[in-house]
Structure 1
Amino acid sequence: MSTSQDDLRAIALAEFASAGYVGTSLQRIAELAGLSKSSVLYHYGSKEQLLEAAIGPAVDRMEEILVPLNAVGLAAANRQEFLEEFVDFLLQYRLEVHMFINQGPALVDVPVIDRANAVIVRLAEFFSTHTSSVEEKARFGVALGGAAYMLSTARNLGLDAPPIDETRAALVTILSELLTPVRIP
């Protein structure tokens, strides 16, 4: 059975998320993939390139989510759509989000991590400038950060995951309720 580039990215992402980027060697990824290290390097010239391939699509997706947010804001009419997209993002990219949250601050000068950190800063700056009180800022931080942390760490804590549809519906409802009192012009 041959290992595709998609398989290799998935194996690398899982290992980066569990053992850490710094603690993961290309040799370990090769072993898990049933390949030689030179085969991994054939597809990806370095561990950094493999990390980019593994988490770059998640960073790209989050950047896409921010485009309309910056254009139309988060007035009540747009808030629900943003929350649904954000929850869908978290559900699709759990391991990548885990990397951003738990390893992002320690991996400065790794280009894809710098890009992910910049997206997170842009999101935080948006809420900082578009909310008027400390309470509103805290609501967004707790709601979005809490959802991200909960979904990205459940696997590491050995928690059984409820069905995706139930999780999605619950998160969208909870986030909506947490953010209902926030008034954004």
Structure 2
Amino acid sequence: MSATPQRILAASRALFAERGYRATSMQAIADEVGITKAALYYHFASKDELLRHLTLPLLDELESALAEAESAGDPEAVRWRAIEGYVDVYLHHRETLLMLVRDMTLLVQAPVADRFRAAVALANDLVCGPGRGLGERVRAAQVVAGLSDPVVLFVNVPPERLKRLILDGAKALLAGYETAAPAGRHDEVTGSPRPRGRPRGRSGGRPAALSGPEAGQARELYAAGRPVAEIAERLGVSRATVYRCLKTSGL
């Protein structure tokens, strides 16, 4: 991407974070960059296109960080890699996150909403660990929810210092959190035996890729409107693996 589109995106990100997406006009963006409105439309056809270019890097990096954490194998390593990766991505895209939080209606727009929901759900799963009950799942959800708010509330705190404080808070919430779930316990919501986890690959994580037929099945299910979580469950892989498959197919 050339210099002018990069300047447009930087100005849009700052204005959206400061004023809000809906309160910022294309003319205001053009004025901030120092170009005509026509020149702005030459590079980006609409504000929606600007929003897509601003949010996709955050989503791509978040999914990648969670997929990398998931491959760690050991539940404790998975948990802390997911937490740290989550914080790193949000700090790297602080203005974009602030833009989304400032105008919460942006978080219900597809495909942004679908990908954010899936990423948060995956983060909750990784922080919680396999075979956990309602109490542990609630604790994991509290931890994940608490990773983003400080990033937008304390915008003037240097990233490295803020990261240390956020991780300290997560450790406090997870103090005494058992690594392994006791055998034979039942889920507090359904009353069913807790699952012991999906089949694992040689590295200890779920299979990182789908075979040709499985990839075709994943695409067909997604095109039929099935949610990513259900597709992942059926195929015995992570949601991140399903998203990578769909991304390469252009869906």
Shorter-chain TM-score tier: 0.7 to 0.9
Cα offset, 1:92, TM superposition: 0.7
Cα offset, 1:131, TM superposition: 6.2
Any runs of at least 4 consecutive aligned residues in structure 1 with deviations exceeding 6 A, and if so which? none
Task: Report the count of equivalent residues.
Answer: 179
Cα distance in 2 for partners of 1:48, 1:38 equals 16
- Does residue 30 (structure 1) correspond to residue 30 (structure 2)? The answer is yes
> 1:1-185 residue pairs with structure 2 within 5 A?
4-72=4-72, 75-106=75-106, 108-124=108-124, 130=130, 132-155=132-155, 161-183=156-178, 185=180
Cα distance in 1 for partners of 2:13, 2:99 equals 9
Q: Which secondary structure does the structure 2 equivalent of 1:137 belong to?
A: helix
Q: Flag the structure with larger Rg.
A: 2
Cα distance in 1 for partners of 2:78, 2:124 equals 18
Give the conservation status (yes or no) of the 8 Å contact 1:14–1:95. yes
Comparing 164-173 with 130-139, which one deviates more in the overlay?
A: 130-139
Q: Structure 1 pair 99/92, CA: closer, same or farther in 2 (3 Å)?
A: same
Cα distance in 2 for partners of 1:6, 1:76 equals 39
Comparing 48-57 with 102-111, which one deviates more in the overlay?
A: 102-111
**Partner AA of 2:88 in structure 1:** D
Q: Deviations over 1:36-56 (max 9, x none)?
A: 111111111211111111121
Cα offset, 1:13, TM superposition: 1.2
**Partner AA of 2:44 in structure 1:** Y
Higher relative contact order (CA 8 A, sep 6+): 1
Give the conservation status (yes or no) of the 8 Å contact 1:11–1:29. yes
Cα offset, 1:128, TM superposition: 7.1
Cα offset, 1:57, TM superposition: 0.2
Q: Which secondary structure does the structure 1 equivalent of 2:67 belong to?
A: helix
Comparing 107-116 with 55-64, which one deviates more in the overlay?
A: 107-116
Q: Deviations over 1:115-142 (max 9, x none)?
A: 3344334434666784634432332222
Q: Which secondary structure does the structure 2 equivalent of 1:4 belong to?
A: helix
Q: Structure 1 pair 103/83, CA: closer, same or farther in 2 (3 Å)?
A: same
Comparing 51-60 with 105-114, which one deviates more in the overlay?
A: 105-114
Q: Structure 1 pair 129/85, CA: closer, same or farther in 2 (3 Å)?
A: closer
Cα distance in 2 for partners of 1:15, 1:103 equals 12
Cα distance in 1 for partners of 2:105, 2:123 equals 16
Cα distance in 2 for partners of 1:91, 1:3 equals 24
Q: TM-score, normalised by structure 2?
A: 0.60
Percent identical across equivalent pairs?
26
Cα distance in 1 for partners of 2:126, 2:18 equals 31
Cα offset, 1:106, TM superposition: 5.0
Quote the residue 1:158 is aligned against: none
Q: Structure 1 pair 183/100, CA: closer, same or farther in 2 (3 Å)?
A: farther
Q: Which runs of 5+ in 1 are unaligned?
A: 156-160
Quote the residue 2:244 is aligned against: none
Give the conservation status (yes or no) of the 8 Å contact 2:30–2:40. yes
